[in-house]
Structure 1
Amino acid sequence: MSEQTTLRNVRLWDGTEDRGPVDLTFAPEGQDGVVVAIAPAADPSATEELAVIPGLIDTHVHLVGDAAGGSAGFLTWPLVTRPEERVLHGLAHAQRALAAGVTTVRDLSADDIQFSLRRGLDAGVVTGPRVLAHGMVSMTGGHGDLFTPAAVAARPPVADGPDACRALVRHWARAGADGIKIATSGGVLSVGDKAAWRNHTPEEIAAIVDEAHALAMPVAAHAHTAAGIDVALDHGVDSIEHATLLEEPQARRIVDAGLTVAPTLLINDRIAAGIGANAEQAEKAAELVERRDALLRAAADLGVDFVLGTDANGFHVRFGEQMDEVRAMARTFGWSAQRALEAATSRAARAIRRDDLGRIAEGGPADLLVVRGRPWERIEDLRPSAIVAVVARGRTAHGALGER
């Protein structure tokens, strides 16, 4: 095997536990890269200055948005920017996430732009994180549809009625989607929307989930309210996104079902504060976050498996701010540093059905961060400024390893 790199006498946290000082060898073998060997450090008496942790996984992002900081607003930019340009902005966002330690992202409102970007990354044409991409099935006037103003004729696809819902799931499967996104409540940034509004009928949701599962695609459900969460659980979705008003009965159902939840804390805090939001959006977010923290803390105490999901869009939450979200989760849920780091690594990997990611093990994928500090002991150490190098698919994608 060629191009092997060995990190000598580094402290290893492997995604679940502290392994102490090790010599770790990896190589860019195959599509994933590989961890070739992990052995006790040959010279354990030497001071371990650096540590190695798995690359972070953000289970909920939206890659395609303005990465140049232009004057167009969040909702306006997609309407005035050609698809060819949007691919480049999505790549810029992906690379910013990678430089900040995020080696895998899941885009939860994808189309041919994200599918094309993912294929280019997988082929090694460009450098960036792993990308998983879910196509959204929205109804006319639903959360997804309401991101496009009513007067705009060119709209993303929607589906009304069970047969149309099945057809749109099949469309996304043919296009190359890794999964499906639905909404079982309204949203915050969507224009004229209300969080409490129903999205789709039970028959439509049943058709979406059944068709997605028949095609081996997981379903992620956007749901802010307890009622929306109940609808998602009733129909057997695979993850819950936001869960802002999660109450005890729904929390217990989530625990029993073994599902993960991405709480997306920072984005709703910022919208509620009016950052990058109009008065309608800020009011909707404020109504949600007023009760959120106490409800989610109680759910965490009941055992709900919260994982890293930022809803980063480059506007309200920027790519590269994922570690800020992890620290916010630790504060909100009263977690230890290790539990918070698990939410961004090994537990997040389960949410995206890639249990081989989010861990560092012999024979496993070589996605890892070389950092200063001990973030599994002190969550304050989890900052981009502490990153020495980012290794993605067995290659140094950011920073430098030096002569090790």
Structure 2
Amino acid sequence: MNRITDIALWDGEAARGISTLEWALDGTDGVITDVRSSDAASSPAGELAVIPGLIDTHVHLVGNAGHRPADFLTWPLMTRPEEQTLHGLANAATAMRAGVTTVRDLSADDIQFSMRRAIDDAVVAGPRVLAHGMVSMTAGHGDLFIPPAYPLRKPLADGPDECRKLVRHWARAGADGVKIATSGGVLSVGDKSAWRNYTGAEIDAIVDEAHALGMRVAAHAHTEAGIDAALEHGVDSIEHGTLLSSAQASRIVAAGITVAPTLLINDRIAAGENGVSAEQSAKAGELVERRDTRMRAAADAGVDFVLGTDANGHHVRFGDQMAEVRLMAATFGWTPDRALQAATSRAARAIGRESQLGRLAPGHLADFVVLRGRPWNDIAALDTANIVAVVSRGRVVEGALPVG
């Protein structure tokens, strides 16, 4: 039995005071067996605290993890799949050491599926990985990361029948879900965020087939039209949701779906950082200019915003997740409690793992972070500089646990 005694504990929903946390190893994993209050009379409140491991619901693990600069768009085209796998594993490990014990990759293929299996089998150490295959149309957001003349293209689908087939392809490959685009993007080349991606019949086929096969559907959507299309066809989450309206906020609340706002990456692209093109910066700037007021109103209306960074190792690095949570708190006017929930228990619900992840409770998996401070009182304490230890799958993967 493993144990941390007499530590301030926040369980994924609220502070529980000075507590003892116990967990047991179960093969390659760990399970929490007990969380109980300590005797207040004999348990001084030290500076350390424990919170659940963070869950980033929107990442792209395959990106340059090396020290040499690389162009965001050309690196994947010039790097062999074997090397991309190593870079992806390095990015995953960096996220884990920074307190992110679960990630959901929203543009996965055999590389990410292989990484997930290797991590699950304890071949290498890493966070829990969920992987969604991309279902994209010709000349859609997903397709326009690749130059027109480049022959090695990711799978594409046009028309309802092809869309169903590609969903089935990802199901056979082992995907946890699929991602679609219902609007254009920012980093894709040559399109506009306002461009329609997929017809209603195609989106309906994708969502219907994914749900029939037990897979969730995440929808990339920046614009009101894109958000409308995603909502009309019953997706499970909205990614970005940058220009959502008050009417759409009400529909999102009623539908009970989550939104990952990806604030940092769009701020940085709009600011022209990290070598982005003038086209990319202008597209992001048009969105960011109108974003914060709309999103603050949506948060006030009860939209369930959750942590999703769009981290790719270039514009947002793995390890920037705590900074994203702090920015979410400031943008939405949240209490520290609500901000932490967005990165733990609410994020677990967004990926369908609320019975296992995002909480410090008996029966949940043993993923947690020990840090200095009380981030549920002061969100500024949620900082990688304050990390004392990270436990993933019941094992210490960063730092050292307090002795006592």
Aligned pairs for 1:365-384 within 5 A: 365-384=365-384
Match for residue 33 of structure 1? Answer: 30
- 1:31: Cα distance to partner? 4.6
Distance in 2, matches of 1:6 and 1:123, equals 24
Distance in 1, matches of 2:352 and 2:387, equals 27
Match for residue 12 of structure 2? Answer: 15
Distance in 2, matches of 1:206 and 1:342, equals 32
Distance in 1, matches of 2:240 and 2:329, equals 16
- 1:46: Cα distance to partner? 3.1
Give CA deviations for 1:151-201 in whole Å, capped at 9, x if unaligned: 101110100011110110011011110000000000000000100000011
Which secondary structure does the structure 2 equivalent of 1:342 belong to? helix
**Residue identity opposite 2:248 in structure 1:** Q
Moved over 4 A (4+): none
**Residue identity opposite 1:344 in structure 2:** A
- 1:39: Cα distance to partner? 2.2
- 1:385: Cα distance to partner? 1.0
Which secondary structure does the structure 2 equivalent of 1:22 belong to? strand
Q: What TM-score, normalized by structure 2, do the two folds share?
A: 0.98
- 1:27: Cα distance to partner? 2.1
Is the contact between residue 259 and residue 305 of structure 2 (CA under 8 Å) also seen in structure 1?
Answer: yes
- 1:397: Cα distance to partner? 1.0
**Residue identity opposite 1:33 in structure 2:** G
Distance in 2, matches of 1:296 and 1:336, equals 16
**Residue identity opposite 2:10 in structure 1:** W
Distance in 2, matches of 1:18 and 1:71, equals 42
Match for residue 398 of structure 1? Answer: 398
Give CA deviations for 1:107-149 in whole Å, capped at 9, x if unaligned: 0000000000000111111101000000000000000000001
**Residue identity opposite 1:7 in structure 2:** I
Aligned pairs for 1:212-227 within 5 A: 212-227=210-225
Distance in 2, matches of 1:307 and 1:402, equals 30
The alignment yields a C-alpha RMSD, in angstroms, of 1.0
Distance in 1, matches of 2:112 and 2:95, equals 15
**Residue identity opposite 1:195 in structure 2:** S
Distance in 1, matches of 2:315 and 2:25, equals 35
Aligned pairs for 1:1-400 within 5 A: 4-42=1-39, 44-49=41-46, 50-276=48-274, 277-355=276-354, 356-400=356-400
- 1:371: Cα distance to partner? 1.0
**Residue identity opposite 2:4 in structure 1:** L
**Residue identity opposite 2:20 in structure 1:** D
- 1:47: Cα distance to partner? 2.2
Distance in 2, matches of 1:305 and 1:43, equals 35
Which secondary structure does the structure 1 equivalent of 2:26 belong to? coil
- 1:402: Cα distance to partner? 4.5
Which secondary structure does the structure 2 equivalent of 1:33 belong to? strand
Which secondary structure does the structure 1 equivalent of 2:391 belong to? strand
- 1:38: Cα distance to partner? 1.7
Distance in 1, matches of 2:139 and 2:41, equals 62
Is the contact between residue 267 and residue 317 of structure 1 (CA under 8 Å) also seen in structure 2?
Answer: yes
Decide whether aligned partners of structure 1 residues 44 and 349 sit closer, same or farther in structure 2, where only a CA change above 3 A counts.
Answer: farther
Give ranges in structure 1 of 5+ residues lacking alignment. Answer: none
Distance in 2, matches of 1:70 and 1:270, equals 20
Is the contact between residue 13 and residue 52 of structure 1 (CA under 8 Å) also seen in structure 2?
Answer: yes
Is the contact between residue 56 and residue 309 of structure 2 (CA under 8 Å) also seen in structure 1?
Answer: yes
Is the contact between residue 16 and residue 342 of structure 1 (CA under 8 Å) also seen in structure 2?
Answer: yes
Give CA deviations for 1:360-398 in whole Å, capped at 9, x if unaligned: 101211011111110011000000111111011111111
Decide whether aligned partners of structure 1 residues 44 and 364 sit closer, same or farther in structure 2, where only a CA change above 3 A counts.
Answer: farther
Is the contact between residue 35 and residue 360 of structure 2 (CA under 8 Å) also seen in structure 1?
Answer: no
Is the contact between residue 326 and residue 340 of structure 1 (CA under 8 Å) also seen in structure 2?
Answer: yes
Distance in 1, matches of 2:218 and 2:40, equals 47
Is the contact between residue 25 and residue 38 of structure 1 (CA under 8 Å) also seen in structure 2?
Answer: yes
Which secondary structure does the structure 2 equivalent of 1:28 belong to? strand
Q: What TM-score, normalized by structure 1, do the two folds share?
A: 0.98
Give ranges in structure 2 of 5+ residues lacking alignment. Answer: none
**Residue identity opposite 1:73 in structure 2:** D
- 1:43: Cα distance to partner? 6.1
**Residue identity opposite 1:13 in structure 2:** W
Distance in 2, matches of 1:326 and 1:105, equals 15
Distance in 2, matches of 1:364 and 1:181, equals 27
Distance in 1, matches of 2:337 and 2:168, equals 40
